[in-house]
Amino acid sequence: MKKRRQLLTVLLAVTVICSVVIMSGCGTKNEKPKTQTSSSGKNQVNTIKETKLEGYKVNVKSNYVHQTDAYGFALNFEVDFDDITPSYEAYVCNNMSSIVDKKIQEENSKSFDEIKEKNPDISDEGLKEKWSSVYKSVFCMNVTYSADKKADIEWAPYPTSDNASKFSSMEEYLKTGNMYLVLKEGGNITGFILFEFPVEKDENNSVTYKEAKVLEAVYFEKTDGEYQNVNIDYVKSRIDNILENK
């Protein structure tokens, strides 16, 4: 089991390093979020009623330390609600970071086990080659989570494989990052939480992310017993405004 975990870690590291120029930040002061808003979102500003979202806790489960395998490949944190059980959609604010899709991660793990089962005598090199051919990148710009009192999120401070070529060096994106979580009940948007992930550098220029700071948490309460007509463009426009004015 220990050898299997070690091999999985090595395989994931090799695949990530090969597919991206690893590491990034998001939503920095010099890099505004590249979310796209529409006139419909802007027209809602004067009609949507907002209140402060309360009754939740944010708990960092594991830090991210650049180029340190012991801390995994992402900053892992949990959002725990007291009285609501929403579904969630998580978005990064620009193309400089990503979110781990746990569903794809599970599919990759299943594929790995199937290869091992069908090829019991395969060498480590052979296993790496076969698994790399079916591996799907787990790093995405947005991820959907099922309804639950808790949302377990892994934010990765580096771009997706599609965006990696847009950056020439890791120094361009080893910066403070942002993402936001959209709360939903059925098909209705009921709130959002905007996070900031401060980057820390020591005297040896080692990069660490260990905090999920809430910049703003909003709840769209019902009016006359009905959900408000909030769309994703409105949320994106609010995110843009908060980041531009912080």
pLDDT of 26 above 60: no
pLDDT of 98 above 90: yes
Whether 113 is covered by a domain: the verdict is no
- How buried is residue 52: exposed, middle or buried, by Cβ count under 10 Å (0-12/13-18/19+)? exposed
Domain count, the chain: 1
Nearest to residue 100, comparing CAs of 179, 206, 214, 191?
179
Question: Bridge-partner residues for 111, per DSSP?
Answer: none
Whether 93 is covered by a domain: the verdict is yes
Whether 94 is covered by a domain: the verdict is yes
Q: Which domain holds residue 43?
A: 25-100+139-245
pLDDT of 20 above 80: no
Q: Which pLDDT tens digit goes with each residue over 199-242? A: 988 777 788 899 999 999 999 999 999 999 999 999 999 999 99
Measured CA to CA, the distance from residue 144 to residue 93 in angstroms comes to: 15
Whether 18 is covered by a domain: the verdict is no
pTM: 0.80
pLDDT of 12 above 70: no
Whether 119 is covered by a domain: the verdict is no
Average pLDDT over residues 182-187: 95
Q: What average pLDDT does the structure give for the chain?
A: 82
Whether 88 is covered by a domain: the verdict is yes
In this structure, of 22-36, 58-72, 83-97, 140-154, the range with the lowest mean pLDDT score is 22-36
Give the model's pLDDT for residue 44: 52
Give the model's pLDDT for residue 24: 33
